[in-house]
């Protein structure tokens, strides 16, 4: 599982060490050597779990899909970003979103009921 690209659709086999990685950053973190450049890339589809080869010099637009299951593996990468979000509008402006589930307090005094019991 790649922590750099959240929607990685394929793993790539590094030609230098014959190990599978989701992105070049994962290779750099887990290896002591540099990534070897090659014209042929071996992919492993994460949907159908089948491997296939692609030549970089002969890539076409139709090469964005797995030849076995037609899973599109060339997609815009989603990288993790730290963000804080609040669902709905600002509660300070529109407090209709805040629902108070607490029981309403009865306005009667507890001493009113116990006044005849006091001496």
Residue-level pLDDT at 51: 92
Is pLDDT of 17 > 80? yes
Band (87; pLDDT cuts 50, 70, 90): low
pLDDT in tens, 34-63: 888 888 889 999 889 999 988 888 877 667
Residue-level pLDDT at 44: 92
Q: Say what the pTM is.
A: 0.57
Give the Cα separation of 76 and 5 in Å (integer): 10
Residue 25 CB contacts under 8 Å (≥ 6 apart), including other chains:
4
28 or 62: which leads in pLDDT: 28
Residue-level pLDDT at 65: 85
Give the Cα separation of 66 and 46 in Å (integer): 10
Give Cα separations from 78 to 2, 18, 38, 83 (angstroms). Answer: 11, 26, 25, 14
């Amino acid at each position: 599982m790649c922590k750099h690209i959240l929607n990685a659709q394929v793993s790539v086999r590094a030609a230098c060490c014959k190990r599978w990685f989701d992105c070049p950053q994962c290779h750099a973190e887990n290896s002591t050597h540099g990534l070897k450049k090659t014209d042929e890339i071996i992919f492993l589809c994460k949907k159908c779990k089948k491997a296939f080869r692609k030549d970089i010099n002969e890539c076409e637009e139709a090469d964005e899909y797995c030849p076995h299951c037609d899973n599109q593996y060339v997609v815009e990468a989603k990288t993790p970003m730290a963000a804080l979000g609040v669902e709905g509008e600002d509660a300070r402006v529109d407090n209709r979103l805040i629902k108070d589930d607490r029981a309403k307090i009865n306005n009667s005094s507890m001493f009113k009921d116990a006044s005849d019991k006091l001496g």
